[in-house]
A and B are shown apart, each in its own frame.
Chain A
């Protein structure tokens, strides 16, 4: 059974804090790892699609790393802002034509 786990389940930080959370996935038959941000009352929005071991991607204050050998990815947010408050989802793709397996997400609340 393919399982994707995200931790922590929820996180509260103060504005300006940097934070990170984890996505764990099976290390075998890896094809891709996706990160999405889902703000309340909006649609999930893709942040990164990562495919290579050692990949590091960055978008503004948000960055992600990927370790396919040990089966984890970290998402980092530098200098959190209230607008970063959202649920961050990761999804694992095993095999190019298989569906993504989604984690339950990390809910981030940034207090002003």
Chain B
């Protein structure tokens, strides 16, 4: 079946502009995660969703970052007034049930964001 998809695959934007990144999880997966990987860094947790609610937003770096999920499916990560330090690969992952750490996560191909 189809895996996790993300769009766009690459995004180049100017400092100060807003961007929206989209994630389509595997059908039926209730948990959805957003991560980012900056150059030379490990995977950084941003936020996860259980259904449409986000119990843990602790990883969002600032109030310029927000995310929503609708219909228990598609999620959008929005970055307002982008800064150069936001440049990174943004990865989305989904897992079958709940947010338990027992469940393997299925990752999308990522969106490479470059802020000029």
Interface residues of A (CB under 8 A from B): 31-32, 34, 36, 42-46, 49, 51, 89, 91, 93-100, 102-105
Contacts and interface: CB of A to CB of B under 8 A. Distances in A.
B109 A42 contact: yes
A89 to B, nearest CB: 7
8 tightest Cβ-Cβ pairs between the two chains A and B: A93-B101, A46-B104, A43-B107, A104-B42, A102-B43, A32-B101, A44-B107, A96-B100
Interface of B: 3-4, 33, 35, 41-43, 45, 48, 55-56, 59, 91, 93, 98-110
A104 B110 CA distance: 17
Main secondary structure, interface of B, reads loop
B102 A43 contact: no
A36 to B, nearest CB: 8
